[in-house]
Amino acid sequence: MPSSRRDLLRLMAAGAMTARGQTGKRPNFLVLVTDDQGIGDVGCYGHPEVRTPNLDRLAASGMRFTQWFANAPVCSASRAAIMTGKYPDRTGVRGALRSEPTWDVPGLRQGEQTLPGSLRGLGYRTAAFGKWHLGSAAESRPRAQGFDDFFGWYSGWLDAYSHRYYQLGGPPGKIFHDLWRNETEVFEEPAYMTELLGREAQAYLARQSAQQPFLLYLAFGAPHYSMMAPKKYLDRFPSTMDRDRRTHLAMVAAVDDVIGSLLDQLKRQGLEDDTVVFYQADNGATREVRASSDGKPYHGGSNEPYRGYKLGVFDGGMHVPAILRAPGLIQPGQVWDRPMISMDLLPTFLAMADGSRRAPPGIDGQDIMPVLRGQTPDHEFLFWSHADQRAVRKGDWKLILNPPQFPGEEVPDKVWLSNVEADPGEKKNLAGEEPERVKDLTEKLRAWERDVGIARAPQ
């Protein structure tokens, strides 16, 4: 962003923050998370074939981030950072948690300080709808982690109509139903899952009033596998479009319709100006064969112009679409083009809810509002891990150890250095030209591994 525009934004944001501070009213929070949606799957990011009018109007009414990062290129770890404000490695939730019908998979630990728990301590109602995937053991479930109400599932994904998780193709295989209202199993088949979540979320908003603030965390299961969309959404796209791309965008369109219904519900209730709305994808679009219609690596989602996919630490795995609407705090139609990350949400929302309240100790995120006003710098370093992969970013430079390997896109180098401002697609490896920079960033990565308590990645 040009410096003059940044200065203008800081002045406007500072004035708006003062205005909100004088009212003393705590905002509501609506947090929207999609699953495996790339930055090339949202219209306002420059992809006209995508039909997302409601996300586009959300961006027009708030701030669109062009360098927002998930904390991990996979779902459970990414969501752990949103819930805790920490690097997921520090929470013990790494990678994607198992899905089991025994409901005993450990995830978030008992006593973890979470966003819903912290807001509930400030008098908020809290609800989680949709995909949880942060543990099905009793101590890891949503209501044990600060939510008053839960409607959704514990597994990594569900069939969009039967609401069953299944894993086939290898012994012993498993299939089980996984849809719950609080601790009670409920049966809603054959309701299309995205529309079912929209029904529940809209009904929840309709029950809210201006008398008590709320947090609604709505985690869609789309456009993650299973790849299914009703005909009315498919019909919005040309029949000549690639089959996987058409299905993918139809699933996104269904999500967008739900988001629109929730924005309209807030307006009808007179809560629009009192509600902070945040949207992001949990990680980039996938390359997994299981999502494809032809048994080949999936190509329905788009992370363009960034390299890589879900499960990899090239930017395509974590560089996700994100939008923040905060009436009275952020002026409409803004764009922020410097790096920010999911773990920043917890301290930011707590500051919005109660500026005098300190964020829980031990978190890694930072309140982004002073950054937007130019009062504090953004993160000096950002780190990511997945399996043996490690990545660190400092300024415009990003180092990867053990780059991800995707079919047809194998990387022979074990060390990859990019200037991501000059080369956002991470196409040119500058490690051989910048040995001192590689050494410095590798040392920072090793220190971070020790700090968060994970094993040293091979190099």
Q: Is pTM beyond 0.85 here? A: yes
pLDDT at 94 over 70: yes
What residue type is assigned to position 310 of the chain? K
Q: Range of 428's domain?
A: 382-452
**pLDDT grade, residue 96 (50/70/90)?**
very high
pLDDT at 7 over 80: no
pLDDT mean over 236-247: 98
pLDDT mean over 254-274: 97
Q: Is residue 457 part of a domain?
A: no
CA neighbor of 96 nearest in space, from 227, 288, 381: 288
pLDDT at 459: 80
pLDDT at 18: 40
Let me know if 262 is exposed, middle or buried by CB neighbors in 10 A (0-12, 13-18, 19+). Answer: buried
Tell me, yes or no, whether 270 and 405 share the same domain.
Answer: no
pLDDT at 24: 65
Domain final position from 329, 346, 372: 372
pLDDT at 170 over 80: no
Residue 325 corresponds to which tokens in the numbers above?
A: 């609407």
**pLDDT grade, residue 406 (50/70/90)?**
very high
pLDDT at 25: 84
Tell me, yes or no, whether 366 and 394 share the same domain.
Answer: no
Are 349 and 115 a contacting pair, CB within 8 Å? yes
Q: What angle do CA 188, 34, 294 make, to 5 degrees?
A: 80
pLDDT above 70: percentage of residues in the chain = 95
Are 224 and 196 a contacting pair, CB within 8 Å? no
CA neighbor of 106 nearest in space, from 42, 45, 169, 154: 154
Tell me, yes or no, whether 357 and 412 share the same domain.
Answer: no
Tell me, yes or no, whether 288 and 430 share the same domain.
Answer: no
pLDDT digits (tens, 9 = 90+) for 373-396: 999 999 999 999 999 999 999 999
pLDDT above 90: percentage of residues in the chain = 91
Q: What is the CATH number of the domain that holds 351?
A: 3.40.720.10
Tell me, yes or no, whether 354 and 403 share the same domain.
Answer: no
pLDDT mean over 84-99: 96
Report the number of distinct structural domains present in the chain: 2
